[in-house]
Structures are given as structure tokens and as C-alpha cells.
Structure 1
Amino acid sequence: MKYHILTFGCQMNVYDTNRLERFLASSGYEPAEGEEDSDLLVLNTCAIRDSAESRVYGTLGRLAHYKKENPKRQIAVMGCMAQKEGERIAKKAKVVDVVAGTHAIPLIPGMLSDAASGKGPQVNVSKSAEHLFDEPENVASLTEVNRYPVFSSIMQGCSKVCSFCVVPYTRGIEVCRPPEQVFQECTNLVERGYREVTLIGQNVDSYRYEEIDFADLLVRLSRIEGLERIRFTTSHPQDITPKLIDTVAELPNVCESFHFPLQAGSDRVLQAMKRGYTVEEYFTKLEYMDQVFGNRDEKPFAYGASTDIMVGFANETEEEFEQTLECVRRARWDSAFMFKYSKREKTAAYPWKDEVPEEVK
């Protein structure tokens, strides 16, 4: 049996795709060269914006002819959109055999087997953490494709519950992975030849497992022999602490690079977003990085800083947008991911009137 996976969205989805590959391999599947010669087609989906969901349904429509050519070929949908939409996907796209939410990755091989045995479309969108960090027993014997970059997930979900964001509803509240599991995964990756690992999570800075916080975790991982570079993403400004900044500065194999989204340059908009900080509080942390790593005006590559910016949220005015532009000039970020606000079901902001025209956004 051969599989082919189409991955949409963020680094967490890339990690989840790699994780599913390990479970499929342990169940006897092999990677196909492409869609045409696969027995199983998997869509790993994103739900952060409406356009991402539309793209998935469009892709399912495109893949439907494979099912007509071979009715035994299976199609599975996993990831955030699967978690959010659940049975609606199977009802809307009749070609789908399996819909697996963000917490059900280890169960997908069994769900595929049930669907193939005539039990109909299988749907699991439970948020139970029982299998959240499971790995197949023979994972150490699997041969991984030498991908770059390679990720290690240190947590799942987010507890910030920003008013615009669907992530807490698709990935659940924060659950942190035991540090020994992260350490072992990174060690295994180094043994397979990787020299750089990127730690990922919706908000890595809020990592805490018992008494171990994110800075403590970095110290532990930095001791892995052969691990030359450690990166991490994404950070929430509220949880970036002097301890974390100092720790990054002290550890030679942890990259001095922070992706911490401002989102907006207006305190009113930030409050409406429920971000938990003001513009000046954000810049206080950026200025502390200047003190620790060096001012980037004088030393351009002293450290890396990038951000996310959203426009058009909470009826953002032209004046408030100009405040965001002023923050761009002031912060001197190396890069920025920019988005226009898109309403998402279940979020606190979903019922609010969105009066900023699309052409203005």
C-alpha cells in the first residue's frame, strides 16, 4: 500500500505529516512517488483562514477522479480543518473515507482499516489527550527522508484564546510534552544525521512541564552532543521573559532569533484581540533584546526578529493602521507575515460586525 500526503498550513502541520508517515510506515505503508500511484491520499489541512478551507474543498474535488478510477483508493482529511468541520467534510465530500482531528493521528491507520472493511466514513475529532504524543513502537527503526528543516513539537494547543484565532478550538488548550520525550526525539534526530532542530508549538514560550519552563528545556536540549543549532517558533510577546532572552544569549547552540507577532500597532485593537500586552510593553521586550544581543542599528545581525501583522480587525481605522506602520518603522523586523482579518467560527470576534471593506484590507 502506498500513500501520498498533501500538507497545507504551518510548521505544526509539517510535523504532523511526518508523524503520520511514521504511523503509516509501521502499518506497512510506503510513500508513493505522486498522487497517481497512491492507494491512499491524505490532506493535512489548515483552518486559520476561510481561504485555506476553500482550497481544501477544491483539492478534494480535483482528487475525486482518482476515486472513480479505483473505488478502493482511500482519501483521508486530517488537521485543523478536520477538527473544526468533522462530519461536515464527509457529508459534503462523499469521496472522503476518514476525517481525523488534530488529536487522532495515531488512530488513522485503524480508521482506514475500518473504512476499508465497509463500516463507512470514519470520523474522530475527539480532543482527548490520551494519544496526543504517542509514537509507533518501532519508530526508531524507520528510515526518514532527510528533510530540512526538521521539527520537534514541544506542545500542542494554545490557552491564550485571542478573540480572532481558531487555534484553541482546533488544537485545544495547551498540553506540554514531557521534556524527556522532546530530549529523546532530538537525540534520535541527531543520530540520524540532523544537526539543526526547530522546536515548534503554538506558543513555545509558555511551555511548562511541572517545574520546567521553556528556558530550562533549552538548557537541557543544548547539552545533546552533535546538536549544533536549536531554533524555536512561535513566541507570544506576553511570555517572552528576561530569563528566556538571557538563556538564549548564554547558550551557543541556540539561535538568537525570535518570531513574536505584534499583530497590530494600536492598543485598542490589541485589547480587542485579547493579546494581553500593549504596544509599549512589546517594545520594552524588543529593547531588552537590543541590550542583550546588541542594537541592530549598530549591529544589523545581532539577533533575528520577525513578526505577524493583521489588518482590518475590529473595524481598524486608518489612523490605527498608520500606528501599525509606525511600529514597522520602529521595530526594524527582519521579516513580517501579513494577513487581512478573516472571520472564523467559534471565535469571540465571529459575531462582531466587520465593516472594513475587503479592498481596504
Structure 2
Amino acid sequence: MKTRDTSPHTQHLGQAPMYFDYAASTPVDGRVLQAMLPYFTQEFGNASNVLHNYGKNARRAVIRSLELIASSIGATAPDQIIVTPSATSANWLAMVSAGTAGSKPGHIITSPVEHSSVIAAARHLEKIGGAVTWLEVNSNGLVNTDQLKKEIRQDTALVSIGHVNNETGVCQDIESISHLCMDRGVTLHTDATQSFGKTGFRVDNALVSMATFSAHKIYGPIGIGCLYVRNNTATKISVPGDYSATANVPSLVGFATAAELTASMSTSEISRIKYISMEFLRDLHSRVDVQLNGSSTNRTWDILNLSIRNIDGADLARAAKIAISTGSACRTGSREPSPTLHAMGLDIDRCRSAVRVSFGRFTTATDAGAAVDEIQKVVSLLRD
């Protein structure tokens, strides 16, 4: 029997909603799935037990996967990779390890537009006696680097600034920030979850001390991420005991395959998605009163945060036959205005009208055109 293809790039209006929420999660690439399958049914050994070939083969897969992940992100060695259950776990690990490394909680610098996991870790450090400086951001969503220069002090343990914002697509000048931190001898962590494969980001070029990555944002499986830690980084990472449990070989193989594909395809994929996204925005702008939230120049084009005047974003997302969101997947469902948009100085109406439309590997120009038609139709219905 021939099975129906239900991958996002074959879905059409009238069947399942077309997928425009790639910033929340991506489908597993078919090549990634094929690489994973043998480790469920054939090479299913425990990588910790190398007394027989099942375990030895699993161990080889783990070593090879770590090597592939490291080379794909620009790391020099696989021992710079700490595998984690998620990007959220990696962010927490970086923040809390740095903030509690000394005899007392240290000073952390971050911003109010970071991923919710970074903000949660910073709040935790504040509660246990640490000092946190929250950098200002401008209306374009860019952090104030002049303020960063002034706020670094002798006891600053970490600066954590995400490269690409997961709600707006705004891209921080992480290379300039990294040079500033290096000059001042401060450890820099960046959440690169939304930038790997979408900006040309590599840890060797960005010169960050630590960076967070996630498999399910690059067409790999959900439930695995990693923290990159540069050699000689001042922060000593306190890895929880459960991180050294039995290796999840299928997911690690999937992560590695996804990372390798993403690195090899990034140049062409960035160009293709930018074209589709910009055409989508031009077409939508010609039909409805829409505003782009965040910088129009310092950004990736796979994520658009849009406000349509006099339309509630949540109502639009629920009514439209396309899969979009009202912001970060970690906040979807909240009726409170996005902290990111609020920090950028947007008024309450613009915040509440915001939706996030994100594009990916399987988005076509035809899909984007159909999405514009659908948004225009729903906006007209909501205004009647």
C-alpha cells in the first residue's frame, strides 16, 4: 500500500494547515531519519558496554556523531561538545555554571530579549544572591553595546547574548560583542539555536566561549541539544549526573546528520528562504496594513514578527489555516504581551497584534503565496 506523504512541504490548504512555524520546531529531514533508523532496530547496543560488537558499534556511532557536530559548528574537537536534553538545558547549564563558579554568585550581564530559559536562569541567580545587569535594547531589538562596555566589571562572570532572537529574527552583532568580551577577559555565551544554518554562524568565526545548539531547530529529532565550550574557558561547567547516563545513540546520530546537512546546505538555503520571505512580506504589505517588528537589516529572513493593525494576533493564529504562532513556542498560550516586544518599546496594541511567521527548508514560493491569501482572508473576516 502506498502511504500518503504528510510532510510539511506536501500539505495544502483544505488538508492539514501549511507549516510556517519553523522557529518553533522543524520536521525531521528524511535523510536524518534514515540515518537514525538502524540504531533503533539493528545497531541498538549500549555505547557504554564495549564487550561485544553491539556496544562497540554504538560507541563508534557516538564518537563519530560528536566529531560531526563539532566540525559542523566550527569546533576544534569533540570534547568541546556537551550533549544535553535540550537547548533550554544547555542555556541553564552555561548560565548557572558561570554564575555559581566562585565562592559566591557572580555578576551576569544579559538582556530582556533573550530566550525564556536564559531569563529564567538569570532570575534564579538573582534569587540566590547573584547580580544581574539587564542591557537596554532599542526599537530594532538590538542590545546597547555601549552600555555593555560600561557594565562589565571585575566580578563579571558571564555575558549571555543570543545571536538570533527566536521571536523577531533580529541578529545581534555577536562578533563585535565577542571581541569586547575577549578584550575584557569575560566569558561570552550565546544561544545559537536560531542562527546555526541561517547566518553562517560558526564558533570559530564568532569567537564565543560557549554556544547553545538544538537538533530540532535544524531538522533533527526533538529531545537533544548541546553546549559548546571553548578550550581554556574560565567557566568550569558543572555537568549534572544524569547527562552522563546511557547515550541516546539514535538521537545523537540524528543530531549529527542534521548538523552536517545544515552546514553543507546553509549558503543556498539562506538565499532561497530570504527570497521567499521577502516576496511574502512585499505581497502581504500590498494587501494589509502590516508592520515588521525588529530591524529590517540586522536580521535573518526565516523569522518574521508582524503586527497587523487592529487585529489580535492570537485570533489570527487560531483562525488561519496555516500554522503560525504569536511568539516564542515557550510562551505560546500566554495572553501577556511578549517581553521581547515590550522591551523594544512597542505599544500594547502592537504587541498583542503580533504574529510570528517562520520559513524553512520545505517552504515553497507557492506555499508563501497561499499563506498571504489566507492571512488576507482571515484579516477581512476578523474585521467584519
Q: TM-score, normalised by structure 2?
A: 0.29
Normalized per residue, which structure has more strand?
A: 1
